[in-house]
Structure 1
Amino acid sequence: MNIVNFIAENARKFPLKPAIGFKKQNEWSELNWRDFQVMVAKTAGALQSVGVCEGDTVGIYSDNSAEWIVFDLAVLSLGAVTVPIYSTNTEQQAEYIIKDSELKIILVGDQQQYDAVYRISERLDALQLIVASKKKIWIKPEKSVFLEDFIKDSSEQITVCERSDEDLATLIYTSGTTGVPKGVMLTHGNFHKCIEAHFEFFKFKNFQDQTSMAFLPLSHVFERSWTLLSLYGGAKVYFLENTKLIASALQEVRPTMMCAVPRFYQKIYAAVNEMVKEGSPLKRKIFNWSLQVGTQVSNLRSNAQEVPLPVRLKFAIADKLVFGKIKMKMGGKLWFMPCGGASLSPEVTQFFDAMGIHITVGYGLTETTATLTAFPFTGYEHGSAGKVLGDTQIKIGANDEILAKGSGIMKGYYKKPQETQEVFTADGWFRTGDAGRFDEQGNLFITDRIKDLMKTSNGKYITPQPIENLLSNDQYITQAMVVAEGRPFVSALIIPNFDALREQIAKMNIHFTSWEDILNSESVKDFYHQKLEQIQKSLPGFEKVKKFTLMPFEFEVSTGEITPTLKVKRNVVLKKYEELIERMYAH
C-alpha cells in the first residue's frame, strides 16, 4: 500500500483535530486533518498537471517547514519519488544530486536555495520547474512559480496511486563521512513495515494525543521516518524552520515527543552539571539527593517493577525542587525522546531517565530506514543501543561487524550496482560498517565505526567515539575530534563552548580581544589541561588525550567538516588541519 494512505484514514477519524503546526507571522498556526488532506491533494494535483507521473523524481531543497511535508506527501501520493537535499548543501552538492537523480521539479525554501537552483537549471536542461515555498523569495518568472500560485486552481480530490512494498518512495543521498554521496533507495514497504514495527515494539497508549516537533532536518532519514510515524499514528507535528530558535520553540509548542542527536542532550547535561557545581552546598546536596531518588525510580521502572509509595512521594518532592525546573526549560511535557546519529554516554541517558524523560537510544542507518534496534520502555541497558525491532535480524560478522537483514533494508544505491554489491554479503546480509556485540539479554552494544578504529604506533587500538563523548559531555567543550592512527599517543582538536568560556575568562580577569588570542593564552590552555585531567581520570593511560589544540571556531556543515547530523568527517578534518595536528607531535 502507498505509505500516504494514513492521511485519508486520519482525516476520516479526526477531521477537526490539528495535524500539523507551523509559524505564520511569528505566531504558531495549525492545520486540521481535513484541511491537511486537502492541501496534500491540491499539491499532488498541481504536480500531476505539470506532468509528474509515477516513478518520476521530485526534489525538496529546504529547511523544515509545513510546505516540506505537504510537498513530500503529495509526491508520494502520485507514486513519484521524493529526493530531499539538505538545506545546508552547497550549490555543487545540490547540483550533483539534481543531476544524478534526474530531477525535473524541485521545491526550494529560501532565497539562497532558489538562486543556487536557478543557476543549476541554466546548466541542466532536465530541470524544468522551481517551486518557491514562500512569497518572500524573489523569483524569475521563467521556470519558477510560487507554491501558493502553483496549487491555487488545483482540485481538492486526488486518487492516491497504488504502490507495492517494492515500489520506490524516496532517494536519500547519504551525506557520508567519506566519498561521493550515494542515493539510498527506500521503498513504500521499507517505511510502512518500519512504522508498524515501532508501534508493535513500543505499544504506545493514546498516541493520537501526543505532540512532536520536527527539529532535526527532514532531509535525514531519522526525522523523516519519525515525522511520518507520528503523523501515521495521528499525533500532531510542529515544524521548526529555524533550529536556532529551539529554546523558545520548546516553551511555545511544549511537545511531548521529539527526536534529537546526542549533542542536544550533552549540552543540557553539561549546563546542568556546571550550574550545580557553582551552586551553594545546600543546592548541591538537594540536587544529589534528587538524582539519587530519580535513579532509584528509573531503575525500578526499567526493570518493570512497581515503584513503592514512599519512593513515589520522594520523587514528587525531587521533581518539585529540581527536575521540574529543568524540564520546564524544555517545555515541561517531554517524556519520550528518540536519539540516534551517534553514540551517547550512559551518564547522559541515566540523568534524563532519572528526571522522567525516556531517551530512547536507537541504532540504524539511512540504508536501514533508520531504526534497527532501540531501548524498549523496560529492560533496557544504559550504554547499549537497545534491542532488535520488528522482523530485523542482526548477527555479528568478521571483525565484529554488525550485519543486518529485514524489511527496513534498502533496495540498493541508485544507479550504483557495484557499490550496492559491496555492502551486501553473498547471502544477502547488509554490512553496516559498524562493529558491535550483544550481551546475554539481547542488548546491542556499538563498539565503533570499523573504519574509525585507530591503531597507535605502539600497537594499541583506540575507539574514538567514547573518548570524544566523554570530552563533549563537559560544559566547556562543544566538539572534539580524537587523532591517534599511527601516532605515538592520542591527541585531539577541541572546540570550546564559547559562551561558557566567555564567562570563565571574565572570572579569570582576562580581557577579551579575539578567540585566537584567548585560546593561545597560557592560562586558558592550563584551564583546559586541568579540565582534561579531571575528565579523563577513569581512562587507561593509552586512551588519554595527551596533547590538544583549541580551535577558534566550530566545525561547520557548510565547510564540509561535519555531516548535517553533526558527525565529524574525519578524513576532511585530518587533511584540512594537517599542519596543526603535526605540530602536536613535533616535540
Structure 2
Amino acid sequence: MSTNPMDFCTSQLDGEVILRRNKKEKFEDPLTIHELMIETATKFPDLIALGTRKQNDWETVTYIEYYELCRKAAKSLLKLGLERFHGVGILGESCFEWFIINIASIFAGGISVAIYPKNSFQVCRFIAENSRANIFMVEDDWQLQKIFKVQSHLTHLKAIVQYKDKITKKSPNIYSWDEFIDLGVTISDEILDRSIDAQKPNQCCMLIYTMGTTGSPKAVMISHDNITWTVRAVLQSLPFTHPPDNPEILVSYLPLFLIPAQIFEVWLPISIAASVFIAEPEAMKVQESLLKILRQVRPTSFCGIPEVWQGLQEKLNTDQMASTILKRNIFIWAKKVGLRRSLNPDAE
C-alpha cells in the first residue's frame, strides 16, 4: 500500500506524522523529550546539570534535581489548566527558569512557545492566539504589561506567571515563580505520568516563530523526534565526551528562542549529561561579561556565532597591540599552539 506524501507532514498542533527511517542510520528507536531526559537523570543523577549565577557564587542542580524540578513545574502547569497541545508562551531572556519552563511545558503535554523578548504587544497577541496559549510565563513587569494590553483578546489564556522580580500589582490569575512552583502539590504523579505516556515522538512539542519576515511571524512546528534525532545526528559528527569519561562543561549564552541555541545549550547537553552554566543576558552584548564566565567556567566546548568570534578576535588584536613585545610574542605563540591543538586534538 502506497503512502500519501502528506502523511509525512502536518499543520495541526495535535497532528502526527510518519517518521522517515533510514536503515543505514545507527540510531535506535525514536525518542520523546521525556525519554531523552529520564535516561540521563537515571544514569547520572548526581552530575551537575545546570549552574546559574547567584550574587558572587554559582548555584547548581544535579540531573535528578533538574528532572524533578521539571516535573514539579509540569504539575503546576496542569493545575493552572494547561490543555493538551495548547501553548505555554515563554517571554523573556534566557535564564534558569527558562530551562525549567521549556521542558515542563512539554512534560505536561503542552507546546513550548519561545518568544523573542523584544516583540511588541501586537506580535505577542498574534503568537498567543496562533499557539492557543493557555499560560504565559513572563520575565518581568515590562513583559507582563505587554500581555495585560491584549489579555482581553486572548480567549485561551488562563494564567500568567512572572518568573523574575516582584509583581508590582497583584491581579487574579497572576502568579510569582515561588507561588507557581508550589501550585502543583495536589497533582499526583499518576496524572502527570498519564500526560507523559500519551506523548509520541512524531507529535509537535514546540513552536519556534520566525523574525524579520513580512507580515505576522510564521510558526515552525518542532516534534519530539525533530529534537532528539537532530541531537543524535550532531553527536555522530562532533567529538563530545560522555560520562564516565570527562563530562563536558558548556556555557549557555545564546538566546533560547532560537532552535540552534536550544539544540546546543538545552537538548544536546541533556543527551551527554553535560554541565551547562548559564550566562547573564548581557553576555551577548557586553563582551567582558562573556569573557568573564568563560574564564570562570572553562568550558570544554564552546558554540560560537560569527559576531562573537569577530568580537573576540578584535579584543585579542587590541590587547596584543597594547602589550609589550614579549607579551605580543606570547600571544602569537599561544594562538599557534591553540590552532594546532584544535586541528589535531589527539596530538601530544
TM-score (norm 2): 0.79
Name the CA shift for 1:297/1:109 in 2 (closer, same or farther; >3 Å): closer
Name the structure 2 match of 1:57: 87
CA contact (8 A) 2:78 2:184 kept: no
Aligned pair 1:12/2:42, yes or no?
A: yes
Shift of residue 98, structure 1, vs aligned partner: 1.5
Name the CA shift for 1:95/1:202 in 2 (closer, same or farther; >3 Å): same
Aligned pair 1:213/2:243, yes or no?
A: no
Shift of residue 66, structure 1, vs aligned partner: 1.4
Shift of residue 257, structure 1, vs aligned partner: 2.7
Shift of residue 193, structure 1, vs aligned partner: 0.5
Aligned pair 1:254/2:284, yes or no?
A: no
Structure 1 SS opposite 2:37: helix
Alignment of 1:26-175 (within 5 A): 26-155=56-185, 157=189, 158-159=192-193, 160-175=196-211
Give the aligned residue type for 2:108.
L
Separation in 2, partners of 1:291, 1:37: 40
Separation in 1, partners of 2:340, 2:300: 23
Structure 1 SS opposite 2:316: helix
Among candidates 225, 229, 232, match of residue 196 of structure 1: 232
Separation in 2, partners of 1:272, 1:229: 30
- 1:324-355 per-residue CA deviation (whole Å, 9 max, x = no partner) reads xxxxxxxxxxxxxxxxxxxxxxxxxxxxxxxx
CA contact (8 A) 1:168 1:186 kept: yes
Structure 2 SS opposite 1:115: helix
CA contact (8 A) 1:131 1:146 kept: yes
Name the CA shift for 1:197/1:124 in 2 (closer, same or farther; >3 Å): same
CA contact (8 A) 1:78 1:161 kept: no
Name the CA shift for 1:287/1:32 in 2 (closer, same or farther; >3 Å): closer
Separation in 2, partners of 1:61, 1:108: 5
Name the structure 1 match of 2:263: 225
Aligned pair 1:184/2:228, yes or no?
A: no
Alignment of 1:101-500 (within 5 A): 101-155=131-185, 157=189, 158-159=192-193, 160-176=196-212, 178-206=214-242, 209-226=247-264, 227-243=266-282, 244=286, 245-292=289-336, 294-296=338-340, 298-299=342-343, 301=344, 307=347
Residues paired across the two proteins, number:
304
CA contact (8 A) 1:22 1:29 kept: yes
CA contact (8 A) 2:86 2:131 kept: no
Structure 2 SS opposite 1:4: helix
Shift of residue 267, structure 1, vs aligned partner: 0.9
Give the aligned residue type for 1:242.
P
Structure 1 SS opposite 2:84: coil
Name the CA shift for 1:241/1:115 in 2 (closer, same or farther; >3 Å): farther
- 1:123-158 per-residue CA deviation (whole Å, 9 max, x = no partner) reads 434322101113523242213111321231524733
CA contact (8 A) 2:138 2:144 kept: yes
CA contact (8 A) 1:63 1:241 kept: no
Separation in 2, partners of 1:123, 1:10: 41
Shift of residue 281, structure 1, vs aligned partner: 4.5
Name the structure 2 match of 1:488: none
Name the CA shift for 1:263/1:178 in 2 (closer, same or farther; >3 Å): farther
Name the CA shift for 1:183/1:114 in 2 (closer, same or farther; >3 Å): same
Separation in 1, partners of 2:293, 2:66: 22
Deviating beyond 6 angstroms after TM superposition, the runs of 4 or more aligned structure 1 residues are: none
Name the CA shift for 1:211/1:298 in 2 (closer, same or farther; >3 Å): closer
Greater relative contact order structure (CA < 8 Å, 6+ sep): 2
- 1:258-277 per-residue CA deviation (whole Å, 9 max, x = no partner) reads 32321111011112123333
Separation in 1, partners of 2:317, 2:243: 33
More strand by share: 1
CA contact (8 A) 2:241 2:248 kept: no
Quote the RMSD (CA, aligned, Å).
2.5
Shift of residue 86, structure 1, vs aligned partner: 1.4
Shift of residue 20, structure 1, vs aligned partner: 1.1
Separation in 1, partners of 2:236, 2:177: 38
- 1:197-223 per-residue CA deviation (whole Å, 9 max, x = no partner) reads 112222532357112121011111111
Separation in 2, partners of 1:21, 1:290: 30
Name the structure 1 match of 2:22: none
Give the aligned residue type for 1:164.
K
Shift of residue 21, structure 1, vs aligned partner: 1.2
Separation in 2, partners of 1:118, 1:193: 38
CA contact (8 A) 1:15 1:34 kept: yes
Could you tell me the percent identity over the aligned residues?
A: 28
Give the aligned residue type for 1:230.
P
Shift of residue 189, structure 1, vs aligned partner: 0.9
Bigger Rg over Cα: 1
Structure 1 SS opposite 2:94: coil
Name the CA shift for 1:297/1:232 in 2 (closer, same or farther; >3 Å): closer
Give the aligned residue type for 1:237.
V
CA contact (8 A) 2:90 2:137 kept: yes
CA contact (8 A) 2:162 2:174 kept: yes
Structure 1: which 5+ residue stretches go unaligned? 313-587
- 1:84-133 per-residue CA deviation (whole Å, 9 max, x = no partner) reads 10122222322221222221211111121112112221343432210111
Separation in 2, partners of 1:20, 1:186: 24
Name the CA shift for 1:118/1:206 in 2 (closer, same or farther; >3 Å): same
Shift of residue 191, structure 1, vs aligned partner: 0.5
